[in-house]
């Protein structure tokens, strides 16, 4: 049997180094919330020059609206990693599911 985290990894197209950490559903609110995370040792590309860098810290948790799941509103949550590039300073790494500064996933 497929676990809810594995199901939503496939439904949302979450790829390594990201993984689905937990899924919460509210039938009363007709809402699904999905939290994604990454391993601590992951190296991230500077969004300006592409240099691979260690994690500096995380931005506060962000939420993106995704396509509905079986008519339930679906939201993706993550703490986006930040890197400190020698050339460009402290910047948020890019996430594969959304454009920078968007509140919606790319599929929405």
pLDDT single digits (tens) 8-53: 999 999 999 999 999 999 999 999 999 999 999 999 999 999 999 9
Q: Examine residue 97 and state whether it is found in any structural domain, yes or no.
A: no
Q: Examine residue 68 and state whether it is found in any structural domain, yes or no.
A: yes
Tokens of 86: 């020698």
Measured distance CA(53)–CA(98) in Å, rounded: 21
Q: Examine residue 38 and state whether it is found in any structural domain, yes or no.
A: yes
What percentage of the chain carries pLDDT values higher than 70? 99
CB 79 within 8 A of CB 61: yes
pTM for this predicted structure:
0.91
Overall number of domains in the chain: 1
Q: Examine residue 108 and state whether it is found in any structural domain, yes or no.
A: no
Q: Examine residue 18 and state whether it is found in any structural domain, yes or no.
A: yes
Name the band, by pLDDT with cuts 50, 70 and 90, for residue 1. confident
For residue 53, what are the domain limits? 4-92
Q: Examine residue 102 and state whether it is found in any structural domain, yes or no.
A: no
């Amino acid at each position: 049997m497929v676990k809810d985290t594995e199901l939503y990894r496939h439904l949302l197209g979450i790829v390594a180094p990201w993984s689905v950490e937990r899924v919460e559903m509210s039938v009363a609110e007709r809402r699904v919330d999905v939290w994604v995370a990454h391993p601590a040792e992951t190296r991230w590309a500077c969004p300006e020059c592409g240099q691979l860098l260690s994690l500096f810290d995380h931005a506060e948790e962000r939420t993106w609206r995704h396509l509905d799941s079986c008519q339930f509103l679906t939201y993706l949550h993550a703490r986006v990693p930040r890197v400190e590039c020698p050339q460009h300073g402290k910047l948020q790494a890019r996430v594969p599911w959304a454009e920078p500064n968007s509140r919606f996933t790319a599929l929405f």
